[in-house]
Amino acid sequence: MSHIRGRFSKDADSRAASYTASIHYDRRLYAHDIAGSIVHARMLAHQGILTEQEAGTIIGALTEIREEIERGTFQFRPDLENIHMSIEARLIEKVGDTGGKLHTARSRNDQVALDMRLYTREATVEAIAAIRGLQRALVDLAEANIPVVIPGYTHLQRAQPVLLAHHLLAYFAMLERDAARFRDSRKRTDVLPLGSGAVAGVAYDIDRDFLAAELGFDRVSENSIDAVSDRDFLLEYLAAACVCMMHLSRLAEEVILWSSAEFDFIEIDDAYATGSSIMPQKKNPDVAELARGKTGRVYGSLVSLLTVMKGLPLAYDRDLQEDKESFFDAVDTLLATLEVFTGMVATLRVKPESARRAVSQGYLLATDLADYLVKKGEPFRGAHDAVARLARYATENGKTLEDLSLEEYRRFSPRFEEDVYRVTVESSLAARDHVGGTAPGRVRHALADARKTLEGKTE
């Protein structure tokens, strides 16, 4: 709908032009578009399609255009529709007909596919780096609070005692899978589409391996039709982003719960909380709450692009313009959430005493008592039943397990002996001394492994 109107007898309707314009959001691709154009010009000269002088003139002008955009002096014209045409029009303004030669052996279809791959590759690297930052904050918090014991929960009911550090390392593990998903998706992003033309390839003696090497791609696309219509790499990024945001939303939920008066395990730093407009005492976990809400926003970006792609015939269709706006929003949302969570986690204040009080309530050692009976020769199902009845008795009589006398214990199993009082929170933790368990030694080892992961991997 831009100034490419040679086939048409009249200008585009102003409403149609506005409807089809993408410059208000695809301008963020300027650096990627110019980088691709500079390498394309070099390739054209390398192949003798342009002279070295023509390529030099074009490259010099493109460099100036990039500087204009970065200085904020570049004039983005809505009638030029998108970033590609905006840059090309300015190029022709600057160097005349020579600028018009840049588009030789190239279509906007393979040009935009290249831009999006360059952008996504960069966004993937940034996502992995941001994940690493949050992982580092989690490890720091865990290392600073190794002795702290909290209730482990199932069904949001107190279940068994665990180390806080063990709990935090669960999120480290989730984020490690997220980083792996992004690394894996990059393999399929690193495919050069340039040289595919509009649909059938180009009728020039081009060197696609030259382009791939200069732009840092692992390989070139094998099918021109697929190359210009493929957006799987965007879907993969979005899928990885959705899983990562889901993990962040789970962490957000626990920050919200744990900072409430009902749990009181942590305090959120003032910099990551807000007050109430009417209740002066309130300290609201708004950052964490917003992350829960923004998770749905990223999910929506994935569903939006899946819906765009689901019925498209090969090859390029204008529907594919809709791949960008929600994708950019998902990239921004993921990175912002990871970065703000890194700061929030780094400044959380743990309340060990409150956590320990919670551990002392709710009969968290019941499983250990069942294990105690098993080790005395009781079949597990019988031990489970005996301790279940014991816990009901204690509840009905307002007693903790520690309050019960040996006589009371023995009402439920004659296998209980004086050494039952050796079943403690500390013995419960120590008993889980296996890979993946919450025993202090195992958790320290897991923290050391996590630190090695952070220090030893470069993305």
Catalytic residues: 155, 276
Asked if residues 163 and 440 have their Cβ atoms less than 8 Å apart, the reply is yes
Concatenated DSSP letters of 255-274? HHHHTSTTT-SEE--GGG-B
* CA dihedral of residues 38, 43, 48, 50 (deg, nearest 10): -20
> What is the Cα–Cα distance from 329 to 424, expressed in whole angstroms?
50
Q: Rounded distance, CA 118 to CA 112, Å? A: 10
d(CA 282, CA 430): 39
Partnered with residue 219 across adjacent β-strands are: 191
Beta bridge partners, 163, equal 149
Task: List the Cα angle 309/312/317 in 5-degree steps.
Answer: 100
What is the β-pairing status of strands 219-220 and 191-192?
parallel
Q: Which amino acid is at 67?
A: E
Beta bridge partners of 191: 219
Going by C-beta distance under 8 Å and a sequence separation of 6 or more, which residues neighbour residue 258?
Answer: 264, 265, 266
Radius of gyration for the chain, computed over Cα atoms and rounded to the nearest angstrom: 30
Q: Report in angstroms the alpha-carbon separations of 107 from 78, 122, 188, 202, 423.
A: 21, 23, 22, 9, 73
